[in-house]
Structure 1
Amino acid sequence: MNTPTQTLRVVFAASAFATSVILVLFVRGRAEWTTAFWLQLAAASLALCAGVCFVMFRKGGMRLVGVPLWPFVRLFLRQLAIVYAVLAIAITALALAIIYAITRSGPNALALAVLAGLWLSLWLAPGVAALTTWRRLRRATVGDIGQT
């Protein structure tokens, strides 16, 4: 049984949309939450997500052809765990530096930084894991073609 061809694209698009919503909320979060605000949020997030997906999916990017299901699942889950851990550590360190520079309170800065790192990584990691999985699969396929 092979993996559906659009699996990585769906995971990447969902992650890109969630991340774009968070980004737009971060930029415009202080605005009054009216119906117009939510419509603008949706439109800006969809436009940002569509632009990123267009760039990533052009020329057949992130499309799976003839990839067995269980090796794909093992590879994707391993990539997801690694990417989540790396992103959580990186975002936490960056947030800690920024928050500590502003508040000068170590315990509060650490708590907020850990929360930010763990939470933001939940939304960003699936998209990055989809990208790294696709690159590994593409590299393995190119290596197989070069050896035959």
Structure 2
Amino acid sequence: MKAEDIDKNLQAATENGEAISPVLPEGIKNYLIDIDGTICDDIPNEEPERMATAAVYPDAQITLNKWYDEGHIIFFFTSRTEAHRAITEEWLKKHGFKYHGMLMGKPRGGNYHWIDNHLVKATRYRGKFTDLVDKDVTIQVFDDGNHE
């Protein structure tokens, strides 16, 4: 499925006032991506004047736009507040980022634990955006009494 088709499906679910979310096609990922310190310089909310001039990480823009063009969903999930939305959207546009939306006001700190009834994958950004690769790791799961 092309990025344009995904965009139309996402818009249709909101423009028509539907109460359901679109179903992602097989193989399409829904990315939630931090902004500060992940796609650009790490700018604290207390210094919003720096947001307009934050240095972009070019590998992030290239990789995220590639994923967008492949049909994946790109949402930014940031600790920036609603007061920072306009300057953030302007910065993303200026640097050519393609994305579907932004969730503002993520609590600051690094101890996130997402619980869902669907498979959730988390990738910690460590200085370079590339294609993702599979790697065996240890994870925490709910104790179902079966300790295999």
Does the pair score TM above 0.5? no
TM-score, structure 1 normalization: 0.23
| Greater RCO (Cα-Cα under 8 Å, separation 6 or more) | 1
TM-score, structure 2 normalization: 0.23
Structure (1/2) with the larger helix percentage: 1
Structure (1/2) with the larger strand percentage: 2
Larger Rg: 1
